[in-house]
Structure 1
């Protein structure tokens, strides 16, 4: 009988309970990490969109000054072209021209706050 216990006690490896605990810890870590990465990705998309819209604004206003007339708004509000490169926005943008000034209002996906380009007071006071 003593021989049987010696054979069982020399077994190597993990028990089922230990494996279940490791899997549970990994699942909890994944549940915490995924929303964090999604938030960071949404912030990165919003920053890239805002930078592209500012470049589009600069190009449209420069063309307006050089060629005369009002600045052009894009045909499709979800796509803009800057220096011949087309960008697809991840948020939504609204364009309007007032007194020869292009005004862009950008709202990022994911519930961020709207940004007006150009910033500051556009009332003309």
Structure 2
């Protein structure tokens, strides 16, 4: 009888611990995703700053360039060589680099759109392929 009580108590503790662990694991994955988005944003800004076509007064042509985030943290124009896929799912929208990034799902990919006219980078997390 005592053994059954001990087993029941252990089962209850496990039932409480597993959801808590899963939630903590998702939070860690979301934090990793946020760090990777910030890293990609920094990579885009580095490429943009070395681009000769940039007109800091905003007199450039109204043209967008799309960059995609790779697994290694680099960004490539138009197509990713080894596209980074989101690992977690946040509970709400996330603020990154002064922008609100819409809540994403696991497996989504990241794109950065730079506009030559406004000199702004827009971050978007969309459906994975």
- Fold equivalence (TM over 0.5): yes
Q: Whose radius of gyration is greater, 1 or 2?
A: 1
Alignment map for 1:1-125 (pairs within 5 Å): 17-68=1-52, 72-74=66-68, 79-83=70-74, 87-90=84-87, 91=106, 92-97=108-113, 98=115, 99-106=118-125
The higher-RCO structure (CA 8 Å, 6+ apart) is 2
Runs of 5+ consecutive residues of structure 1 not aligned to the other structure: 1-16, 108-125
Could you say if the C-alpha distance between residues 56 and 71 of structure 1 is closer, same or farther in structure 2, counting changes exceeding 3 Å? farther
The total of aligned residue pairs comes to 88
- Unmatched segments (≥5 aa) in structure 2: 54-63, 76-81, 88-105
What displacement does 1:52 show? Answer: 1.0
Q: Which has the higher helix share?
A: 1
TM-score w.r.t. length of structure 1 = 0.56
When the two chains are superposed, the root-mean-square deviation of aligned CA atoms in Å is 3.0
